[in-house]
Structure 1
Amino acid sequence: MAKLKVAVFASGNGSNFQALADGARDGRIDADIRLLVCDKPSAPVIKRAEAAGIETYVIRPREYPSREACEREILIELKRRGVELVVLAGYMRIVTPVLVDAYYGRMINVHPSLLPAFPGLNGIGQALAYGVKVTGATVHFVDGGLDSGPIIAQEALAVEPGDTEETLAARIHPIEHRLLLEVVQHFAEGRIRLNGRQVTIES
């Protein structure tokens, strides 16, 4: 079976990128990570990609007249590499219809909360500040809104007394990694179906 051609977009440390790269290398997912797209030239995720032998495409958004112009150039790079699935993994930019329309149903994001609760920046801090007893992680389709696309997979996690952002993040990140690998493998196997906001995974 041909491997699923994947591009990962990331802006920061890149632990989710690392999980995907390791999973592809170890054969836990039938995926070929073709490209890292990064909007921060000094982001640690770039070194992770270099160590994994994965090509990096660094964009500098301020050099473009608009978000759309920047994404049109990204789209050219994705098409050139035959990318079939785009994974946003800590990518700190809202994508425009340029990419959403080209990859709708084939672009996913991972978020550290049980959406639709606490979208946007610092979902973990938002959950703690609100005082919830349960939070978790979500993998969802990208629709151009703020973490608003149809939900593919979620896993809940209890908030413990005395939790800080750091302690809660340390327990949420492994859930994000596991969910991402599971969902990417479902894509590779052609098992995911999207109908409106309803997502089913065929057995």
Structure 2
Amino acid sequence: MKVRIRTHHANIAEVSEKKTVKIVVLASGAGTLLQSIIDQQGAYQVVGVVSDIDCAALERAQVAGIPTEIISLAESRDRDDWNTRLVAAVEKHNPQLVVSAGFMKIVGKEFLARYGGRTINTHPALLPAFPGAHAVRDALAYGVKVTGSTVHFIDEGVDTGEIIAQQAVDVRRGESEADLHERIKQVERKLIVSVLNSAVVVMNAETNCEEVFFHV
């Protein structure tokens, strides 16, 4: 299936056929972000949840009747084999988009070749500022007055993919890293749902290519 992503403001009013965007979520932890995504499905539908470990996120998906699968790195021959199995686990659901929601593994070249252009990630900072695993700590150490949350596509870099949407969060004087991170997470949950519910997938009759538009 060919899918092209467009992130500019799309004029979809004249589109005759609109489809629900099918998404697969990758998750490794408690699943609070996943829960928000599940609870507020509208323009999108969660058709599968894949994890690298047995975790609470899978339980949340199972309660909602969503198919789940574990692709364990420890049970794979090597990293390449794990990536091959991860791609297969996602492909069986035939999604237009993949959402990384607290997924704690870095995907490899095979996954990026298949889904890199349509896998969304959230990051607890206003990219391109403060990429990496310690974004909240780094923002506090730098002394910024404003940070926030970013929704972006993944690519081969570290938090370098195309930005889809951002929302700012003020930094309070004397605030701890944990408290700031929790407030960013609250914004993050609303932002990712807003982005996903802004999406529409349509078929371009001329190119025979499905196009996903975000009108954010």
* Bucket of the pairwise TM-score, normalised by the shorter protein: 0.7 to 0.9
Structure 1 residue 91 corresponds to structure 2 residue 98:
no
Provide the C-alpha distance between the structure 2 equivalents of 1:147 and 1:14, rounded to a whole number of angstroms. 21
Unaligned 5+ segments in structure 2 are 1-17, 203-212
Structure 1 counterpart of 2:190: 178
Question: What aligned pairs does 1:85-164 form with structure 2 within 5 A after superposition?
Answer: 85-164=97-176
Unaligned 5+ segments in structure 1 are 191-199
What SS does structure 1 have at the residue aligned with 2:26? strand
Structure 1 residue 40 corresponds to structure 2 residue 87:
no
Provide the C-alpha distance between the structure 1 equivalents of 2:196 and 2:125, rounded to a whole number of angstroms. 19
> Contact 2:120–2:152 (CA<8 Å) still a contact in 1?
yes
> Contact 2:19–2:201 (CA<8 Å) still a contact in 1?
no
Larger Rg: 2
Q: Larger % of helix: which?
A: 1
| AA partner of residue 66 (structure 1) | D
Q: TM-score, normalised by structure 1?
A: 0.85
What SS does structure 1 have at the residue aligned with 2:169? strand
Structure 2 counterpart of 1:194: none
Provide the C-alpha distance between the structure 2 equivalents of 1:118 and 1:65, rounded to a whole number of angstroms. 34
Provide the C-alpha distance between the structure 2 equivalents of 1:175 and 1:141, rounded to a whole number of angstroms. 18
Q: TM-score, normalised by structure 2?
A: 0.80
Structure 2 counterpart of 1:18: 35
What SS does structure 1 have at the residue aligned with 2:129? coil
What SS does structure 1 have at the residue aligned with 2:199? helix
Distance 1:49 1:60, change over 3 A: same
Residue deviations 1:178-203 (CA, integer Å, cap 9, x gap):
2111221233356xxxxxxxxx9558
Q: How many residue pairs were aligned?
A: 189
Greater Cα shift, 118-127 or 102-111: 118-127
Structure 2 counterpart of 1:69: 81
Q: Which has the higher contact order (CA 8 A, sep 6+)?
A: 2
